[in-house]
Structure 1
C-alpha cells in the first residue's frame, strides 16, 4: 500500500516538474505569426515581390516559426544563442559583455549581411531570411532580453490559472493563448497609428531596439515573485504591452526588410 502511495506521489511530482520545465518557444507560434502578418501590411511592392521570389510564395507568417522549428535538429545547434541577449539591467547592449557564440543582435546582423551579399546562394538567402523574420520577433519579447542567472525568466516558476509554468512562458504564449485570438485576428486588430508614429517606431538600430526591450523586461521581472498565482489581473495589467510589442515587432520587421530589398 505504501508503495502504491509513493508511486502516485512520484507520478504527480514528475508531471508537475515536466510541466514547469518544458522547453519554451519564443513568443509561441501565434505571436511570431502575428508579427509576420503585421509586417506584410507595411512592405513595399518591390519588397513583397523579392520575398515572394525567395520564399516561393510562402507568407512571412508561415516562415516566422522557422527559428524554433530547427531547434530539434542538431545541425543547427550553433544558432541557439541567437534567440536572446543577456546583459545586466541598466547596461546598454553596446556596453555589455558579448557572448562569443553570438546573440540576438549579432544574429540579426548576420542575417542582414547574407541577404545583402550578391554572391550568397539562394538557399542561404532563404535560410537567413526565415531566421531574420523569427529573430526580429524574438527581439521584441521582453524575456529575451532577460537575466542570464534565471535563463530569461525560465527559472522563475509561477502559476497561470492554477497551472504550473514560468515567467518566460507567460510572456511567450500564456497571455496570448488566453486571449484566444488567432494570429490573423490579432494582426487585424492592431491599434491605429499615424505616419508620425510609424516613423518614430521605425527609428533606431537593432541594438537600440534591444535596449528598449530590456526596459520592458525590467518591468516584467518586477511584476511577479516566485510562486505567484497569476490570473485575470495579470492579463489586465500586462497584455496591452504584449500586444504592443507584437505590433511594434511587425512594423520594425517591415522596416528592416524594406531596407534590405530596396
Structure 2
C-alpha cells in the first residue's frame, strides 16, 4: 500500500517537472516580442484600418496573429515561406548591393504580402493569410539578428551562455532578454517610451529596404557585443535591453504605418 502511494507521489512529481519544463520552454523576437509589436501597432492604427483588419481576421487581434508565421513552420506545406523571416548580408553591404536569396527573403516576402492584400481578386482567406504573415515579418525585420550574416545563420551558430546555460546569440535577442525581463506583452506595450508625434513621423519615414538596412547596421553592433562562449548575464541586459524595447516600439509603429497605407 505504502509502495503504491510512493509510486503515485513520484509520478505526480515527474509530471509536474515535465509540465513546468514545457510551459517555461523558450518559444521559437519570440512570441512575447511579436505580440508586443502587434499590440503597439494597434495603439497607432487609424480606426478605419482597425475595422477593416477586424473584418478580415474575424475579430482576432494583431497580437494573436503575430506568431502565425512561426506556428506554421511545423507544417511542411508552408516551407516556401521559411526564408521570408530573414535577410542575410555581409557587414557593410546594403540590401541593394547584396546577393539575394533565390527562395525569397524579408523584403520580397513583405512585398508579396502587400501585393496579395491589395489585389481586388484575392479572396478573403488569401488576404487574411498574407496579413498574418505580414504582421510577423514586419516584426522580424526589426530584430537585429534577422538581418545578420549568412555564414552563421544570423547568429544561430554563435554559441554563448545565458546565465550559465548554453544558447546562441540569435536566441538571446529573440527570446532570452525579453523572458528575463519578465513582462507580458501587454505590459511591454503599455510601458513603451512616450514619444512625440514628430518622433513617430520620423520613425515612419523610409521604405522597407531602408528599414532593413537600418536593422543590418544594428546587427553589426550586436555581433560585436559578444565573444564566442561568453557567459552573458545582468550586465548584458543592462547594456542592451533598451535597444530591444526600442526595436519593439519601432516595429509596432512601422507596422501600423504599413497597415494604414494598405487599407487607406
Q: Identify the residue that residue 74 of structure 1 maps to in structure 2.
A: 76
Which of 146, 149, 172 pairs up with 1:147?
Answer: 149
Per the alignment, in what secondary structure is the counterpart of residue 44 of structure 2? coil
1:24, distance to aligned residue in structure 2 (A): 7.0
- 1:46-88 deviation per Cα after TM superposition (whole angstroms, max 9, x unaligned): 1000000000100000000000000000000010000000011
Per the alignment, in what secondary structure is the counterpart of residue 41 of structure 1? helix
Q: Identify the residue that residue 251 of structure 1 maps to in structure 2.
A: 253
In the alignment, the residues of structure 1 paired with residue 26 and residue 33 of structure 2 have an alpha-carbon distance, to the nearest angstrom, of 16
CA gap 1:93/1:23 in 2 versus in 1, 3 angstroms: farther
1:164 aligns with 2:188: no
1:33–1:62 CA contact under 8 A, matched in 2 = yes
1:142, distance to aligned residue in structure 2 (A): 0.2
1:138 aligns with 2:140: yes
2:86–2:105 CA contact under 8 A, matched in 1 = yes
TM-score by length of 1: 0.90
Q: Unaligned 5+ residue runs, structure 2?
A: 1-24
1:34–1:61 CA contact under 8 A, matched in 2 = yes
Please provide the CA RMSD for this pair: 1.1
Query: What stretches of structure 1 move > 4 A for 4+ residues in a row?
Result: none
1:221 aligns with 2:214: no
CA gap 1:23/1:161 in 2 versus in 1, 3 angstroms: closer
1:240, distance to aligned residue in structure 2 (A): 0.3
Q: Identify the residue that residue 53 of structure 2 maps to in structure 1.
A: 51
TM-score by length of 2: 0.90
In the alignment, the residues of structure 2 paired with residue 159 and residue 99 of structure 1 have an alpha-carbon distance, to the nearest angstrom, of 30
Q: Unaligned 5+ residue runs, structure 1?
A: 1-21
The count of aligned residue pairs is 240
